[in-house]
A and B are shown apart, each in its own frame.
Chain A
């Protein structure tokens, strides 16, 4: 009889502990919803008007989500929650535009993607696809906004015979940036072949909008860059620039040329 009682008490203690775990799960779910809502609010309502405040708030939110994710990333039963947190952290690090959190951005996308791989077929479609997209998106934005690709181009005028040396340096810098951006756009295009994307209408829409935007911006800048190279050759004609027309033309190549897979033809 005592043995039975002992077993009963132990069993009840075990299930009560399980009850505590349930409460924790509910709290975590609420926190994920709250974090997602905060993220949307800051990006949509704060960031367009006040980038400094948005940067601070997004960085804080990103670190919170990262901490939560890190705390559960080793528990197999919590992988889905961890991935959701890593997706939130990655988005917030990206949109914070804070160059000092680049390492954390890579860390959260790598760790989140690793969990996606471990989950295999059970990995959440949207979150895992997004974790693949976020690094090239963030990289392209950084190249475009921080390095100011098109602004740099505006400062180059090979028809006025002025500041040519400086302009040559700028052209080199733009070439390097374009090369990076080209690689990032290519990475975005590679994701188009991901079979998870093919049958996900919402992600297809999101992906195509942004892939087109990335490619459109990149190709326009690359074409204007090529025009500048040709202007240099036509107006100055020496070999100081060390960027050939072919070099410039190659930067206008994307493989495929545009996001032309069937997924984006529906756009």
Chain B
């Protein structure tokens, strides 16, 4: 990662935030404000008369009481007027003032509007002259795009230039940003500044994507869909109240950048994969994005989904949702052609509730598991819906996540054996291999199905028995994958059947446990015993062979589960007695060849059979 790009990224987000702050400050300074009028006294009656007659000279010739007091030459009151003259004229003045006021009732529209602007004792006045009014929302956005583009070019000069990819991208943003601006600009209100900021964040993400991938060229139509489907919902979800806006803006500050990167990443992938085809349906993208940005505002059991998933985890989940929306847009569009925002909201809520119930999986780990489930179930949603149209895929996904996390969480409560050594990444990988296998048999996924739980719980139990850590975590993950594959291919067998002597235990777990016991017995407390052959890769291969064989006839082992350990002990005894003849490869060869027969018959092979197999 180029440190300059990191710094640029932070700077660009802050610049966009600063641009928002600047625009807010500009709004504070430039909005119409109240300027109070001069508050002068009415004056004495002579002063009022003087003023009234100056403003209404026609009355001086027609109203006797007024003619009587007026000196035409001086355009002022005559001298030495009596109190009676002043009072009589004053009464006439009041009458005429009332008359003028009544006539004003029939004022024209222009006057009415003008007077409506006036307030008692003052007037609302805008900051700028007509020709100096600040640019419109659209122009401001264009300026922000230009600004960010220019700054980016200083770090990555190659992406801009005549006909280059960067220039095309900025052009596409400028062309399509009108999607963010509603027809009724007044209704846009505070969102104008916010939209400018979000658009800036998305442009930076787009430029970052093309800077890091020389082959990517974004099409104008794709950018249009991205702005309509991803950028616009973020802007639309801006709450009205100031307090909610503060919280939402904080969350958007944290999530909008990664969301934009996720969307561009997806766009880049699809541009490469489906070149020439439509990137995605903006309604489907919009449903996922709206759901995320609606849900981050909600609080359930005292926590938001960001508290449960973490910011990084929420983005991972969002990315998974976007991926499904791109691949299967119809899942997010209703019969009425409207985006099904509630669907992904329910999924986010359900996943959050599941992870809250299993605190070990709070944060990025749980969110990544949830994301994997969304991807796996979403990808297979059409098959699931075909199998059971009444089960919505998002509920199936939540059920699968619940089974996955609940069974893992149970085994992690007081972890023993190999499972205790699993890192978060390895737990995630364990979930991934199981899910990827199970997803190949959609019939195993369902609200009332419990295979996922049985497989994960069974494998976790088996791993807990590996006290001597004879297998590494990665080897166990590999074994779990094979077990899941076989279980998926043979539903209800490996983790459904039980051995006769242990009805509560799955057959696969009983068999794996007995193999582990034999391997452990050849491993002393101080380390390897004399010639232990059953550990590491050999043990892994032996377990893989026995699990694969469990998909066949298991009648014998079901009635006599110790047969596998007895078979292994016999082979190990032979190997110990004939060190020049037996190595791990020979032991495995015999084991793989004869295990199916052992499981079916429940009896040990004879020495002749073993020798013949060895010789073959």
Are A224 and B46 CB-contacts (below 8 A) given A40-B33, A125-B127?
yes
Q: Assess whether B50 is interfacial by the CB under 8 Å rule.
A: yes
- In the assembled complex, the CB of A171 is this many whole angstroms from the nearest CB of chain B, namely 14
Report the tally of A-B residue pairs with Cβ distances under 8 A. Answer: 203
Are A26 and B129 CB-contacts (below 8 A) given A224-B47, A230-B79?
no
The residue of chain A having its C-beta at the shortest distance from the C-beta of B2 within the complex is: A4
Contact A44 B21, beta carbon cutoff 8 Å = no
A residues within 8 A CB of B21? 22-23, 25-26, 29
Number of residues from B at the complex interface, CB < 8 A: 61
Q: Assess whether A80 is interfacial by the CB under 8 Å rule.
A: yes
Q: Assess whether B585 is interfacial by the CB under 8 Å rule.
A: no
- Sample 6 A-B pairs with CB under 8 A, ordered by A number: A43-B36, A44-B119, A44-B120, A126-B33, A151-B44, A217-B43
B residues within 8 A CB of A190? none
CA–CA, A141 and B35, complex, Å: 15
Are A19 and B14 CB-contacts (below 8 A) given A12-B7, A48-B121, A216-B54?
yes
Partner of B127, one of A25, A124, A137: A124
Contact indicator per residue, chain A 6-48, by CB within 8 Å of chain B (1) or not (0): 0110011001001101110110111011001001100110011
The residue of chain B having its C-beta at the shortest distance from the C-beta of A128 within the complex is: B127
Query: What secondary structure prevails in chain A residues at the interface with B?
Result: helix
Contact B79 A220, beta carbon cutoff 8 Å = no
The residue of chain A having its C-beta at the shortest distance from the C-beta of B7 within the complex is: A11
A residues within 8 A CB of B46? 153-154, 224, 227
A residues within 8 A CB of B275? none
Contact B51 A44, beta carbon cutoff 8 Å = no
CA–CA, A4 and B79, complex, Å: 92
A residues within 8 A CB of B175? none
B69-77, B87-95, B326-334, B453-461 - the one binding chain A: B69-77
Q: Assess whether A132 is interfacial by the CB under 8 Å rule.
A: no
| Contacting residues of chain B (159-210) with chain A, CB-CB under 8 angstroms | none
CA–CA, A213 and B37, complex, Å: 9
Q: Assess whether B68 is interfacial by the CB under 8 Å rule.
A: no
Contact B125 A203, beta carbon cutoff 8 Å = yes
| Contacting residues of chain B (460-474) with chain A, CB-CB under 8 angstroms | none
| Contacting residues of chain B (575-608) with chain A, CB-CB under 8 angstroms | none
Contact indicator per residue, chain A 162-179, by CB within 8 Å of chain B (1) or not (0): 000000000000000000
CA–CA, A140 and B127, complex, Å: 25
B residues within 8 A CB of A30? 28
CA–CA, A44 and B56, complex, Å: 30
Q: Assess whether A110 is interfacial by the CB under 8 Å rule.
A: no
Q: Assess whether A231 is interfacial by the CB under 8 Å rule.
A: yes
- In the assembled complex, the CB of B198 is this many whole angstroms from the nearest CB of chain A, namely 16
| Contacting residues of chain A (90-142) with chain B, CB-CB under 8 angstroms | 91, 94-95, 124-127, 130, 137, 140-141
Q: Assess whether B390 is interfacial by the CB under 8 Å rule.
A: no
CA–CA, A199 and B129, complex, Å: 6
Contact B76 A223, beta carbon cutoff 8 Å = yes
Q: Assess whether A84 is interfacial by the CB under 8 Å rule.
A: yes
Q: Assess whether B422 is interfacial by the CB under 8 Å rule.
A: no
The residue of chain A having its C-beta at the shortest distance from the C-beta of B125 within the complex is: A202
Number of residues from A at the complex interface, CB < 8 A: 75
Q: Assess whether A226 is interfacial by the CB under 8 Å rule.
A: yes
Q: Assess whether B58 is interfacial by the CB under 8 Å rule.
A: no
- In the assembled complex, the CB of A254 is this many whole angstroms from the nearest CB of chain B, namely 13
Name the 8 nearest CB pairs between A and B, nearest first.
A40-B34, A220-B51, A29-B28, A150-B43, A29-B25, A223-B76, A32-B28, A11-B7
Q: Assess whether A261 is interfacial by the CB under 8 Å rule.
A: no
For B32, B48, B128, which residue has the most chain A Cβ atoms within 10 angstroms?
B128
- In the assembled complex, the CB of A155 is this many whole angstroms from the nearest CB of chain B, namely 10
Given contacts A5-B3, A22-B21, A203-B129, 5 further A-B pairs with CB under 8 A are A15-B10, A124-B29, A130-B35, A150-B41, A220-B47
B residues within 8 A CB of A29? 21, 24-25, 27-29
A residues within 8 A CB of B7? 8, 11-12, 15
Q: Assess whether A247 is interfacial by the CB under 8 Å rule.
A: no
Partner of A18, one of B18, B121, B130: B18
The residue of chain B having its C-beta at the shortest distance from the C-beta of A127 within the complex is: B127
Q: Assess whether B122 is interfacial by the CB under 8 Å rule.
A: yes
B residues within 8 A CB of A224? 44, 46-47, 50, 76-77
Contact A144 B41, beta carbon cutoff 8 Å = yes
Q: Assess whether B615 is interfacial by the CB under 8 Å rule.
A: no
CA–CA, A149 and B42, complex, Å: 11
Q: Assess whether A187 is interfacial by the CB under 8 Å rule.
A: no
Contact B79 A227, beta carbon cutoff 8 Å = yes
Q: Assess whether B39 is interfacial by the CB under 8 Å rule.
A: yes
Contact A8 B6, beta carbon cutoff 8 Å = yes
